[in-house]
Structure 1
């Protein structure tokens, strides 16, 4: 292939029709492009019109991926100018449909590395074959076992890593040439994929136990060796592995688990935003978490640690939490508790009718929560009787149905407002349009991890941080509080996604400053470090 074709086929270097005549002569592109030279604005306008002509959301996503695969700068220029509209298209919720059709629609690997658990000897070669001489600073890795809402999708879940990195760049300005999506192919327990002749991954049940964890250790060692300055972001690992991996490695290298830490931070920020509106204190709340898996326990842990920071003893703080899972209220004698659940279970002698607390309604009646957070993927679980029961015992109930996609949400925001006469302070896991009720326009905050993790990543990378610890994560959560006017009627508990680029920078500075204050950074000026690290989508 000629040098000209190499440039035009390299999405990090290609400008398409925006190459000037001088550049065309310099790079040997004369005759390789139409004569017209366009600006990036003109290109973006043309592409956006074509994007609007696509009839379905999945068609829109496929069109955007064509741009992504050929011209990264143009893709991110377009996305940054239409970020509220396009983020649900390139990531959640449309990405679920993309993953489910991955085998049939596969055309390009999108600069992702595919690692087989059966071949740990190939890890370094595989990573370097994909990254080449690029200076990798951010890796998103998934094994696709626990993709929220759709479960285990094996190697097809690579789109999760690709999409997550898109949001990092669009929201926070992480240089797209310095990122690497990775999928760990450990097999799959998805029977549909095991029987699908078109499936592109290892077609056997998931490898688990020691062989799996040995592979993860080998992978970590290789990342430390090959990409010593990179942030390693774990995404959508299973309930039985995610926390175990985070606990083992979080103090060893710069790493982050969005499902545990990201979900926890955004929930904390949402609760603090709600309390800003209600003028209540965190220590006066009773928390009920419906769904005590990876995400739910990440939320409980960070809320617990915030209570301790506010002066409560660990024992006092634990008394504020009630975990509800498929068994009902979790007690210390409930079978099959996870290591993350055990510290927050209740004792049966607290309740004279403990054997009846097997469903959400019964638990709400018994514990009278002021904050109810759903990560259960149980659609419609927050019913009208449950919500009215909660509202009878608190002036401004804080209710976060966070499960997504839409069809898995515990409740609709419009119903929650109606059932509480507009008193509920709501955050959802999906985007919700403004709601009109009794002459008040209610703005619904989206507890989207994308509000937080891009800034966390940018701040940690810019600071040259050694680790990401809870102090840095809490700084990120507090950076979001105060961006919404709490006195505005119908105010949201979180800032709108449309402002994500601005508050991602604010979060990044807060994280970098926390790293500096703790002596964990290699820089001494947070604002300058963040500004110097940000990449702009310009030719």
Structure 2
């Protein structure tokens, strides 16, 4: 069954004149024709010239490219989104590689830090814990009633920046913009949400411009009851909605995912999305090293939910290649501020236990590299510069092509820069970071750093879920997504050291991943719509295009 192509809705007859120009979903700005201007009471309210969408995009591009400050570019785009949604997405989709770092990481991190100081107009739903018992009432104030994809944060662990409270709203807004720009998920079916349970960031509490609750974070049973009320309200109001959890602290991220993953359509992008993009990078890397997944050993710097999520998906991929699952998990070791996670430690959380090593304690990361001899190291610590020169040089001694992924976001939190990793490994490292780095010149070669950003995963996942109306999200769907990403890396890309599809091709790459994931959803019997003869046609017919209505 193919759904009709989704584009911007037509303007209702009763909305005219100034009100029409102030409706971001219906406003065409200078693209309103002379006939439309006469019929809709717009004459005199616009300059006389009628411009095509292409000229409007060019004008915005000229404006943005003339700015030196990325936060200013972010604000220009945010204002455009609030004024003319179709043009906003037309701009993003005209050059996704250029605009992704502005709309999302790394610029969104600064935007979240300064959220109260740059706030212009509200977007999304703010649910303070002070409204317990009324969450459904607040959610129902959202004007669009067919929400299919919802991104929610409680602002506790925003990227690698920590507790930003209500300022974390920038993350759901940015993520959903990319769901549309990179995979065509219709924006009218998306909803950004913040669960405001307070903040422990004293600087925010002391800031008169802070926009959230002025109280410490609520924990424990009261917190979980609030989350439970939120999930129940979403299910009642939006029964076809998928909930994507974003930037929750480890203390809550893992229990929330375990509580709901088998009951509703939901996933945690920091745990599962990060795992998918990491595995995709590893699978492509193995085409460069000519090795098998079962030959690999990985050491993680950071032992939180992101690390264990990646480690588990790698283990599942190893098991799929014939390895015993317990042996696969032993090949993924975790290292945190107290050292390597080993059996003698008393501070191991339940979600970390599958990856605990049965060996003597190791207190430094360099020693752990020398002892475990990993083929790859993955940084998800949120602490910069921990992949030291000695660590990188040791990895290069142990491996002809070491896999080195400093994944922490934003750029300021990366465990190492691209230039450091390339220089210290004599240009032999297979590198991927969470945020973008510029190309590196080394011995006459131009090395282009890979960005292992979740943008390769969550927009495609959102589109697959949207098109199939999936009932659940499974780990196997992330395995499928990782494989679908890796298979799009051409031999030419690999020869240039690239392990992800070029960001200029993110839209077509996302639709390919969405098609593969959607097919898996049908295979698992998790779709709410009948299975079509052509799953790709279903995906393509579901795509939003930034085209003004006629």
- Class of the TM-score when normalised by the shorter of the 2 chains: over 0.9
Of the candidates 193, 202, 205, which is equivalent to residue 194 of structure 1?
205
Name the SS of the counterpart of 1:60 in structure 2.
helix
CA distance in 2, matches of 1:465, 1:290: 34
Q: Which residue of 2 aligns with 1:126?
A: 138
Of the candidates 139, 148, 151, which is equivalent to residue 137 of structure 1?
148
Larger CA deviation: 260-269 vs 228-237: 228-237
Shift of 1:202: 0.7
2:330 touches 2:356 (CA, 8 Å); kept in 1?
A: no
Larger CA deviation: 79-88 vs 383-392: 383-392
1:506-533 CA-to-partner distances (Å, cap 9, x unmatched) read: 1100110000111111231321221111
Shift of 1:59: 1.0
Q: Which residue of 1 aligns with 2:485?
A: 480
Q: Which residue of 2 aligns with 1:6?
A: 19
CA distance in 2, matches of 1:133, 1:99: 25
Q: Which residue of 1 aligns with 2:464?
A: 459
2:147 touches 2:241 (CA, 8 Å); kept in 1?
A: yes
Q: Which residue of 1 aligns with 2:10?
A: none
Q: Which residue of 2 aligns with 1:506?
A: 512
Of the candidates 315, 326, 329, which is equivalent to residue 315 of structure 1?
326
- Identify unmatched segments of 5+ residues in structure 2: 1-13
1:48-81 CA-to-partner distances (Å, cap 9, x unmatched) read: 1111222211111111111111000001101111
Q: Does 1:63 align with 2:68?
A: no
Shift of 1:433: 2.9
CA distance in 1, matches of 2:477, 2:487: 18
Judged with a 3 Å threshold, the aligned counterparts in structure 2 of structure 1 residues 128 and 451 are, in CA distance, closer, same or farther, namely same
2:312 touches 2:329 (CA, 8 Å); kept in 1?
A: no
Q: Which residue of 1 aligns with 2:9?
A: none
Q: Which residue of 2 aligns with 1:21?
A: 34
Q: Which residue of 1 aligns with 2:525?
A: 519
Of the candidates 264, 268, 285, which is equivalent to residue 274 of structure 1?
285
Name the SS of the counterpart of 1:289 in structure 2.
strand
Q: Which residue of 2 aligns with 1:73?
A: 86
Q: Which residue of 2 aligns with 1:531?
A: 540
Shift of 1:409: 1.2
CA distance in 2, matches of 1:438, 1:101: 40
CA distance in 2, matches of 1:439, 1:31: 59
1:440 touches 1:490 (CA, 8 Å); kept in 2?
A: no
Which residues in structure 2 correspond to 1:262-411 (within 5 Å)?
262-347=273-358, 350-351=359-360, 354=361, 357-411=362-416
1:161-192 CA-to-partner distances (Å, cap 9, x unmatched) read: 11111111110111111111111100001111
2:144 touches 2:188 (CA, 8 Å); kept in 1?
A: no
CA distance in 1, matches of 2:166, 2:85: 24
1:444 touches 1:493 (CA, 8 Å); kept in 2?
A: no
1:284-321 CA-to-partner distances (Å, cap 9, x unmatched) read: 11110111112111111111111112222222112212
Q: Which residue of 2 aligns with 1:417?
A: 422
1:112-143 CA-to-partner distances (Å, cap 9, x unmatched) read: 1010112122212211212x244211111111
CA distance in 2, matches of 1:51, 1:411: 29
1:442 touches 1:489 (CA, 8 Å); kept in 2?
A: no
Shift of 1:486: 4.0
Detail structure 1 runs of 4+ shifted over 6 Å in the superposition.
none
2:204 touches 2:210 (CA, 8 Å); kept in 1?
A: yes
Q: Does 1:182 align with 2:193?
A: yes
RMSD of aligned C-alpha atoms?
Answer: 1.6
Judged with a 3 Å threshold, the aligned counterparts in structure 2 of structure 1 residues 380 and 245 are, in CA distance, closer, same or farther, namely same
> Whose relative contact order is higher, 1 or 2, with alpha carbons under 8 Å and at least 6 apart?
2
Shift of 1:335: 3.2
CA distance in 1, matches of 2:130, 2:189: 28
CA distance in 1, matches of 2:213, 2:133: 16
Shift of 1:33: 2.3
Q: Which residue of 2 aligns with 1:94?
A: 107
CA distance in 2, matches of 1:98, 1:428: 21
Q: Which residue of 2 aligns with 1:430?
A: 435
Shift of 1:2: 7.1
Name the SS of the counterpart of 2:412 in structure 1.
helix
Judged with a 3 Å threshold, the aligned counterparts in structure 2 of structure 1 residues 168 and 59 are, in CA distance, closer, same or farther, namely same
1:445 touches 1:495 (CA, 8 Å); kept in 2?
A: no
- Identify unmatched segments of 5+ residues in structure 1: none
Q: Does 1:115 align with 2:120?
A: no
CA distance in 2, matches of 1:215, 1:421: 52
2:144 touches 2:189 (CA, 8 Å); kept in 1?
A: no
Aligned residues: 531
Name the SS of the counterpart of 1:114 in structure 2.
strand
1:206-235 CA-to-partner distances (Å, cap 9, x unmatched) read: 011001101111111111110111121111
1:363-422 CA-to-partner distances (Å, cap 9, x unmatched) read: 111111111101112222111211222222222211111112222211122222222222
- When normalised by structure 2's length, the TM-score is 0.94
